[in-house]
Chains A and B, each alone.
Chain A
């Protein structure tokens, strides 16, 4: 047996590895031989461990080369665990601690001091974080990229710490940091002159902030989603500022009208991406006509929920010839005529969002098929007037089609038959299409073997056979939604042997029992998210199976299941990756059961959803411990209603 490394040197192998993006492929690679393992070790720059347990081994293996560490999926990460998991501090450039609610400012301070050259930190969604945590992060003075989205307690003071400490910042996200005001933004702008990307979405700041932001000469990308205090005047400041924006997101800014958008388009001539969705609904033609001045540079345009006339789309089509992506979701005025004018001009379009454009018919699909052969994503949810005729054209002309959303479009098996010709299809959403049956699914299963995501929400005509066809044909599925497909039974579920499946929704499938779950769990070992809400027949046996086979399960919904305290205890205690559990209306679980189960899982859970009545009966000491370990409890008060 000859050594493959004699032919393929480690360098060459590393070049091969450059082309492998799927973690599963990399794993197979590692398992070939020691030489391959070595090559992989030298090649790898980033790891994203799912648990803390194997981390020391991993760190030893990749010491020296590792630059990026993503700990966002690790449960029970606290300060001491964090300080142990910082490898080769001199090389480390990027750390993600998103949702690492167990970490405190001390851990962050250690991180900042141990890794002096760290350039990127993500502490987004650590909802308890505030100024002290921001101050700790600010000690990393070489930081270029920082996300503190949804660190709810960060105020101007924390932002000032960051602004003063990390003056080299290039990218900053402070989305949902509601406490930050204009004063903080003003200081940030004065101190961090290198900023290129800034996300201040949902902040309660006004036009004055935009006036100061406009002075950032290097700013290219600005997100202002849902800034309700910003209006046209703010956009005027932006258009006259020093910055030369390439991308702006002003969606959901209710007070922005087309006047502001017009001035913006006049002043910022290098804009490549505009998201103006859900602004004030009336869009005058002046704005659209100003878009022509941007002309060829514009590649992404999103105008969701604006009132557009066909003539506006004509202007867009004539002027923005390089447009790659257009979003027209919920634009009432969009009709076939407008679409045909649009696609005649913008032949490069790869993503077209026509969600809820109720006037769109097959004619639109025909013109898209005729003009935009390269279209990759087509979102047609609730376009009730389209039929298999249009989809047939699309399928035969647009061979590159990768994503199609036909939710609620009343498509039938014939349409699926046409679509199955698109062998590149990765995402297919046909929820609420009651006309789809096993026959349609068999076409998909036979031809679309690359499918990654399939949504069959409330496709009530589907039975076990259809599921079998999918399971046998689409072996790479990662996401599958079978909610309320209530004809499917354990037999069908047993067909689900999808190694890569990570996300499975079985909500409201009243026929399935624990034996089906057991069979499924044995086949789908990679599951990370599972929704079993209202699967009334699932009991402890199902929990045992999940606890045994689906080790990576991170998010679990078992509301309304007939699970007892024992099963709950077992599953919460044994699943090491579990972080998010929704367990409302578990009528068979006693208070002691909840208490024990929560204690068993303590330290891992980051989010729990429980019935509000339990708030008073569970021991306060337990609740305090949970919260101290970074767990958020959502108490819901819903009446117990059984639906079939």
Chain B
């Protein structure tokens, strides 16, 4: 079972994803689609080795190469113009030329970017795009980004490219995320810092589970029969049925931490939903404290509310416990606000009234006026009721800890992941990638 868990949380080794590159000494080839898949993109060892460290000589040679290339393209265009004027249009030839031009332009752009990337010292190594295979843990962002799989035209795996790939992939996402984040900021700006969590950024590890994992009903599975459990303790009880070897006190005991191991780093969790304040890419990222918090937060904030109160038929919840809490006092809400919101306690109503301009407690027989218009005001804070839910659960986190056993794992992959911070200089390039679908599709080869 531990194995199972481990595999799901460990960052898997990356496939060495092929990357784009170009050979600075590359001469414009004959137009031949077959050729292109091989020769034009053969990566130059020279360039690759320079990717990390900036080398002025390399830069110069790259630039002259680009210059050369631009001249070539100019020539093609002139050729096209000449052909047009000559009126002896060979349609197929023209099409071929256009294709050639498109390909060339694209590759020039990429090369330009590469050059710039190697030049700008603020950029860590990552520049070129591409996609590492989606890691099980933590990179659903990438999958969401619709980044094309570069492996299609990148036959040459190289560790450096892996870096580049990742960087680009994230850039794309980040730029998209950035827009959303700014949207959200407007709304959420107020409650920044409400959290009691005062850990300085960087003093903890940030983990991010995938949506599927968060929503999985069970996290502990029997290695023999495959049955799932919510708690490890329950699984251990279950295992007794599979044989005497599971009945020993050692097997039944809570897996202990290895003594003398490294002090366990503080862990915090990030919500996989990009743009959410609990997502680590958010400007005012507020991490979640425990797995349970992650689950409840994700369900409450980003899932459909599928549990409906059977008594009032209006209140909906995505966390079953919330429904149960509500059902305890449903029907006893006698404190009504002019906006239509009901409260079971007077002080809660008055707190609400104090918060929102223009709301007043409604008199018993008052008609609920403007319910629809005003309800929007409070919608955002519809969270209000649950905003503190995460904290509330944090306190109970202790219950949960036996199951959260991944303290002992190391998250190399995630580490890197979490280190990747958004850098505006990179962002300026990222649009190219997302904005040039042609490029993505250009190479059907492989």
Chains A and B are bound partners: yes
Identify the stretch in B62-70, B345-353, B387-395 within 8 Å (CB) of chain A at 4 or more residues: B345-353
Instruction: Assess the A186–B363 pair: CB atoms within 8 A.
Output: no
Q: Does A132 contact B (CB under 8 A)?
A: yes
Q: Does B94 contact A (CB under 8 A)?
A: no
Q: Does A199 contact B (CB under 8 A)?
A: no
Instruction: Assess the A191–B354 pair: CB atoms within 8 A.
Output: yes
Given contacts A187-B353, A190-B354, A191-B354, contact A160 B360 (CB under 8 A): yes
Nearest chain-A residue to B336 (Cβ)? A157
Residues of the A chain whose Cβ atoms lie less than 8 Å from the Cβ of B350: 156, 160, 183-184, 186-187
For the complex, what is the distance from the CA of A191 to the CA of B350, rounded to whole Å? 11
Given contacts A183-B346, A183-B347, contact A157 B354 (CB under 8 A): no
Q: Does B361 contact A (CB under 8 A)?
A: yes
Is chain A's interface secondary structure helix, strand, loop, or mixed overall?
helix
Q: Does B358 contact A (CB under 8 A)?
A: yes
Residues of the B chain whose Cβ atoms lie less than 8 Å from the Cβ of A156: 346, 350, 361
- Per the CB 8 Å criterion, the residue count for chain B at the interface is 10
Q: Does B124 contact A (CB under 8 A)?
A: no
Give the one of B350, B353, B363 with max A CB within 10 A: B350
Nearest-Cβ distance from residue A169 to partner chain B, whole angstroms: 15
Give the one of A135, A157, A187 with max B CB within 10 A: A157
The size bracket of the interface on A is 10 to 19
Nearest-Cβ distance from residue A609 to partner chain B, whole angstroms: 33
Q: Does B359 contact A (CB under 8 A)?
A: yes
Instruction: Assess the A164–B347 pair: CB atoms within 8 A.
Output: no
Nearest-Cβ distance from residue A24 to partner chain B, whole angstroms: 46
For the complex, what is the distance from the CA of A634 to the CA of B20, rounded to whole Å? 98
Nearest-Cβ distance from residue B350 to partner chain A, whole angstroms: 5
Residues of the A chain whose Cβ atoms lie less than 8 Å from the Cβ of B354: 186-187, 190-191
Please, what's the 1-or-0 string for A180-207, where 1 marks a CB less than 8 Å from any CB in chain B? Answer: 0001101100110000000000000000
Kindly identify, within residues 332 to 358 of chain B, every residue whose CB is under 8 Å from any CB belonging to chain A.
346-347, 350, 353-354, 358
Nearest-Cβ distance from residue A307 to partner chain B, whole angstroms: 40
Instruction: Assess the B346–A131 pair: CB atoms within 8 A.
Output: no
Q: Does A516 contact B (CB under 8 A)?
A: no
Nearest chain-A residue to B347 (Cβ)? A183
Q: Does A582 contact B (CB under 8 A)?
A: no
- 19 A-B pairs (CB sep. < 8 Å): A131-B363, A132-B363, A135-B360, A135-B363, A138-B360, A156-B350, A160-B350, A160-B353, A160-B361, A161-B361, A161-B363, A164-B353, A164-B358, A164-B360, A165-B360, A184-B350, A186-B354, A190-B354, A191-B354
Nearest chain-A residue to B366 (Cβ)? A135
Residues of the B chain whose Cβ atoms lie less than 8 Å from the Cβ of A132: 363
Nearest chain-A residue to B354 (Cβ)? A190
Nearest-Cβ distance from residue A145 to partner chain B, whole angstroms: 20
Nearest chain-B residue to A184 (Cβ)? B350
Nearest-Cβ distance from residue B73 to partner chain A, whole angstroms: 69
Nearest-Cβ distance from residue B273 to partner chain A, whole angstroms: 35
For the complex, what is the distance from the CA of A236 to the CA of B171, rounded to whole Å? 58
For the complex, what is the distance from the CA of A183 to the CA of B350, rounded to whole Å? 7
Please, what's the 1-or-0 string for A135-156, where 1 marks a CB less than 8 Å from any CB in chain B? Answer: 1001000000000000000001
Residues of the B chain whose Cβ atoms lie less than 8 Å from the Cβ of A131: 363
Residues of the A chain whose Cβ atoms lie less than 8 Å from the Cβ of B353: 160, 164, 187
Nearest chain-A residue to B346 (Cβ)? A183
For the complex of A and B, the 4 pairs showing the least CB-CB separation, nearest first, are A164-B360, A157-B361, A190-B354, A160-B361
Nearest chain-B residue to A181 (Cβ)? B346
Residues of the B chain whose Cβ atoms lie less than 8 Å from the Cβ of A183: 346-347, 350
Nearest-Cβ distance from residue A74 to partner chain B, whole angstroms: 28
Instruction: Assess the B346–A161 pair: CB atoms within 8 A.
Output: no
Nearest chain-B residue to A164 (Cβ)? B360
Residues of the A chain whose Cβ atoms lie less than 8 Å from the Cβ of B347: 183
For the complex, what is the distance from the CA of A165 to the CA of B360, rounded to whole Å? 8
Nearest-Cβ distance from residue A136 to partner chain B, whole angstroms: 10
Nearest-Cβ distance from residue A191 to partner chain B, whole angstroms: 7
Nearest-Cβ distance from residue B112 to partner chain A, whole angstroms: 59
Nearest-Cβ distance from residue A235 to partner chain B, whole angstroms: 24
For the complex, what is the distance from the CA of A353 to the CA of B379, rounded to whole Å? 61
Please, what's the 1-or-0 string for A582-607, where 1 marks a CB less than 8 Å from any CB in chain B? Answer: 00000000000000000000000000
For the complex, what is the distance from the CA of A267 to the CA of B353, rounded to whole Å? 32
Residues of the B chain whose Cβ atoms lie less than 8 Å from the Cβ of A165: 360
Residues of the B chain whose Cβ atoms lie less than 8 Å from the Cβ of A157: 361, 363
Please, what's the 1-or-0 string for B354-375, where 1 marks a CB less than 8 Å from any CB in chain A? Answer: 1000111101000000000000
For the complex, what is the distance from the CA of A190 to the CA of B353, rounded to whole Å? 10
Residues of the A chain whose Cβ atoms lie less than 8 Å from the Cβ of B358: 164
Kindly identify, within residues 423 to 474 of chain A, every residue whose CB is under 8 Å from any CB belonging to chain B.
none
Residues of the B chain whose Cβ atoms lie less than 8 Å from the Cβ of A190: 354
Nearest-Cβ distance from residue A209 to partner chain B, whole angstroms: 13
Nearest-Cβ distance from residue B31 to partner chain A, whole angstroms: 76
Nearest-Cβ distance from residue B416 to partner chain A, whole angstroms: 49
Nearest-Cβ distance from residue A129 to partner chain B, whole angstroms: 13
Please, what's the 1-or-0 string for A297-312, where 1 marks a CB less than 8 Å from any CB in chain B? Answer: 0000000000000000
For the complex, what is the distance from the CA of A160 to the CA of B363, rounded to whole Å? 11
Nearest-Cβ distance from residue A188 to partner chain B, whole angstroms: 10
Nearest chain-B residue to A138 (Cβ)? B360
Nearest-Cβ distance from residue A298 to partner chain B, whole angstroms: 36
For the complex, what is the distance from the CA of A132 to the CA of B360, rounded to whole Å? 13
Nearest-Cβ distance from residue A465 to partner chain B, whole angstroms: 64
For the complex, what is the distance from the CA of A191 to the CA of B351, rounded to whole Å? 12
Please, what's the 1-or-0 string for A38-76, where 1 marks a CB less than 8 Å from any CB in chain B? Answer: 000000000000000000000000000000000000000
Nearest chain-A residue to B345 (Cβ)? A183
Residues of the B chain whose Cβ atoms lie less than 8 Å from the Cβ of A184: 350
Nearest chain-A residue to B337 (Cβ)? A160
For the complex, what is the distance from the CA of A292 to the CA of B346, rounded to whole Å? 44
Please, what's the 1-or-0 string for A155-174, where 1 marks a CB less than 8 Å from any CB in chain B? Answer: 01100110011000000000
Kindly identify, within residues 396 to 415 of chain B, every residue whose CB is under 8 Å from any CB belonging to chain A.
none
Residues of the B chain whose Cβ atoms lie less than 8 Å from the Cβ of A186: 350, 354
For the complex, what is the distance from the CA of A190 to the CA of B350, rounded to whole Å? 11
Nearest-Cβ distance from residue B424 to partner chain A, whole angstroms: 41
Please, what's the 1-or-0 string for B12-52, where 1 marks a CB less than 8 Å from any CB in chain A? Answer: 00000000000000000000000000000000000000000
Nearest-Cβ distance from residue A181 to partner chain B, whole angstroms: 8
Knowing that A138-B360, A156-B350, A157-B361 touch, tell me 17 more A-B residue pairs with CB under 8 angstroms.
A132-B363, A135-B360, A156-B361, A157-B363, A160-B350, A161-B361, A161-B363, A164-B353, A164-B358, A183-B346, A183-B350, A184-B350, A186-B350, A186-B354, A187-B354, A190-B354, A191-B354
Nearest chain-B residue to A165 (Cβ)? B360
Residues of the B chain whose Cβ atoms lie less than 8 Å from the Cβ of A187: 350, 353-354
Please, what's the 1-or-0 string for B307-350, where 1 marks a CB less than 8 Å from any CB in chain A? Answer: 00000000000000000000000000000000000000011001
For the complex, what is the distance from the CA of A334 to the CA of B361, rounded to whole Å? 52
Given contacts A187-B354, A190-B354, contact A164 B363 (CB under 8 A): no
Nearest chain-A residue to B335 (Cβ)? A157
Nearest-Cβ distance from residue B314 to partner chain A, whole angstroms: 23
Nearest-Cβ distance from residue B35 to partner chain A, whole angstroms: 76
Nearest-Cβ distance from residue B328 to partner chain A, whole angstroms: 22
Nearest-Cβ distance from residue B365 to partner chain A, whole angstroms: 9
Kindly identify, within residues 299 to 336 of chain A, every residue whose CB is under 8 Å from any CB belonging to chain B.
none
For the complex, what is the distance from the CA of A164 to the CA of B349, rounded to whole Å? 13
For the complex, what is the distance from the CA of A106 to the CA of B346, rounded to whole Å? 26
Please, what's the 1-or-0 string for A493-530, where 1 marks a CB less than 8 Å from any CB in chain B? Answer: 00000000000000000000000000000000000000
Give the one of A183, A184, A186 with max B CB within 10 A: A183
Nearest-Cβ distance from residue B367 to partner chain A, whole angstroms: 13
Residues of the B chain whose Cβ atoms lie less than 8 Å from the Cβ of A138: 360
For the complex, what is the distance from the CA of A138 to the CA of B366, rounded to whole Å? 15
Residues of the A chain whose Cβ atoms lie less than 8 Å from the Cβ of B361: 156-157, 160-161
For the complex, what is the distance from the CA of A183 to the CA of B351, rounded to whole Å? 9
Residues of the B chain whose Cβ atoms lie less than 8 Å from the Cβ of A161: 360-361, 363
Nearest-Cβ distance from residue A83 to partner chain B, whole angstroms: 22
For the complex, what is the distance from the CA of A160 to the CA of B353, rounded to whole Å? 8
For the complex, what is the distance from the CA of A19 to the CA of B350, rounded to whole Å? 49
For the complex, what is the distance from the CA of A165 to the CA of B346, rounded to whole Å? 19
